[in-house]
Structure 1
Amino acid sequence: MKIFEVLQWGERRLKEAEVENSRWDADLLLSFDLGWRREQLYLERETVLSDEQWKHYQSLIARRSAREPLQYILRNQEFMGLSFYVDERVLIPRADSEILIEKLLEFRKSSAKAEIRIADLCTGSGALAVAIAHFWTEAFVIGTDLSSAALEVARYNAQQNKAQVEWREGDFFEPIRGERWDWIVTNPPYIPEKEHRLLAPEIFKEPEMALVGAENGLIFYRRLAEEAASLLKPEGRILMEIGWDQGQAVQELFQKQGFRTQVFRDYGGRDRVVYAEFSMR
């Protein structure tokens, strides 16, 4: 079959499986399979695939039709302009999370400290920690995760992006207990159990422990609010990704503990990040 025929077939199969952006995915899977840029497919649309190439492409389409995330098949996701390896051990980095890094780097401009200590809790693929270390090179950055398998991916991503990050295994903030930090950042599991069951099929291919934050999605924010004063330096700060409807609830948890808070919205206009500033009383 010629390339244009193969792409038409792939698009039809993905549409039948109710995959959104079926033509885009069909194109990316074939360009990945051939090692070509996407536009080259259209320049070489009359090229005939070998039997081996055709069979392998069919296997990729079958995986995507089974609603395996495209990023897991391609083993790649871009975040903050950096390339991250991803597989079933880690949550796929989302563009929405970039607002957290952008806000952190805005605060960096006003920081006069020579040494900054930043802890990324629930690091997963290492996207936040690696991006921070890449763009804030003078900072001391660590990433924590309960999953040793996730930390293997994070270490690899740090190496690939030449980022200096220290990795620690353990539950949430336990690996940093007894230390003081200028910044804590985190994208914890925050999806309520009931909502998780209603999400797109691709979500169920990602690790549940990285997504679900108990019944109401707030368990990790509550834990951090209760312990944050002992983890931060004076005037220490926190940036947390949240669900679109959790802004008020998360702010209240931290305000009760004496923090000043603010919500930042993503580019879709939805609440996405809560900022909490520790104030000595």
Structure 2
Amino acid sequence: MNVLEGMHWGEARLLEKGIDNARFDADLLLARVLHVSRDRLYLDCDLNLSEQEEANYRESILRRADHEPLQYILKRQEFMGLAFYVDQRVLIPRADSELLIEKWLELVMAEEEQGQDRLIKAVDLCTGSGALAISMAHYYPKAQVFGTDLSQDALDVARENAVRLGVSVQWRHGDFVKPIQGERWDYIVTNPPYVTVQEYGQCALEIFREPSMAFLGGQDGLDFYRSLSEETRSLLNPQGKLLMEIGWNQADAVCELFRMKGFETQVFPDLAGRDRVIIAR
């Protein structure tokens, strides 16, 4: 099998199983096996694969054909311009969540421009791979950043990513807000589980390979927000802010939960125009 034959074979196997972007996925898997860029495949399309390379490629294609997420096979996902290691222990970071970091950076930079010279203390709840916390620490190293998760396995991945990317984050293990109780925070940032039970049952097969606890937010998807609305006042400094990712149809319900507790809220859409981030203060 040469490179061109491999690309065609992989694409055909993935199309048979209904995999979206079959050619793209097949190309990336072949490029990974050969340790080259995707572009290089087209320059070396007549290059023959070794027996081991062909065996590794076929195994990768069969895994993807079985609806294992591409990112888990590649062990990599890009987020905020950084390359994160991911595997079955953590949720795969999505581009939609970058809006959380962009809004957080706007807030901390505005403080700096106003001459507020203080140590900013920020925490990422439900950190998973550490994508949010590590991005915060990378792009604003003046902040003291923490990350928490109920899953010790997820924290192991987050720690590994922090070391790989050379940032300093303090990690805490525990359920919900327990690891940060008794302290005051300038910023709480979170991408919590917010998928309803009904929605989860209708997800693409790839979703079921990711940790279910990172998706399921109860019957109506609002369990985490209810609890957070009860706890946030005791956790934030007087000028502190909470930034949350939400499902596209949850803005009104989540805002109402926080307004009932005396918070002001702002809703921000993602690039597709869907409600995605709420800032509560």
TM-score by structure 2 length? 0.98
- Equivalent residue number for residue 226 of structure 2: 222
1:15 equivalent to 2:19? Answer: no
| Aligned counterparts of 1:248 and 1:83: Cα–Cα separation in 2 | 34
- Equivalent residue number for residue 59 of structure 1: 59
- Equivalent residue number for residue 188 of structure 1: 192
For residue 61 of structure 1, report the CA deviation from its aligned partner.
0.2
1:1-281 to 2 correspondence within 5 Å?
Answer: 1-111=1-111, 112-277=116-281
For residue 224 of structure 1, report the CA deviation from its aligned partner.
0.6
Secondary structure in structure 2 of the residue aligned to 1:110: helix
| Aligned counterparts of 1:110 and 1:78: Cα–Cα separation in 2 | 27
| Aligned counterparts of 1:158 and 1:248: Cα–Cα separation in 2 | 35
- Deviation track 1:39-98 (CA, whole Å, cap 9, x = no partner) reads 110000011111211111100000000000000000000100011000000000000000
For residue 113 of structure 1, report the CA deviation from its aligned partner.
3.7
Q: Can you give the 5+ residue segments of structure 1 that lack an aligned partner in the other structure?
A: none
For residue 36 of structure 1, report the CA deviation from its aligned partner.
0.4
TM-score by structure 1 length? 0.98
- Deviation track 1:81-135 (CA, whole Å, cap 9, x = no partner) reads 0110000000000000000100111111221242100011000000000000001
| Aligned counterparts of 2:198 and 2:232: Cα–Cα separation in 1 | 28
| Aligned counterparts of 2:79 and 2:130: Cα–Cα separation in 1 | 11
Q: Can you give the 5+ residue segments of structure 2 that lack an aligned partner in the other structure?
A: none
- Report runs of 4+ in structure 1 exceeding 4 Å deviation: none
Secondary structure in structure 1 of the residue aligned to 2:194: coil
Matched positions, count: 277
| Aligned counterparts of 1:253 and 1:121: Cα–Cα separation in 2 | 19
- Deviation track 1:158-209 (CA, whole Å, cap 9, x = no partner) reads 1111111000000111100000000000001000011001010000000000
Secondary structure in structure 1 of the residue aligned to 2:31: helix
Letter in 2 for 1:122: C
Secondary structure in structure 2 of the residue aligned to 1:109: helix
Identical-pair percentage: 56
Secondary structure in structure 2 of the residue aligned to 1:31: helix
Letter in 1 for 2:187: W
- Deviation track 1:9-29 (CA, whole Å, cap 9, x = no partner) reads 000000001000000000000
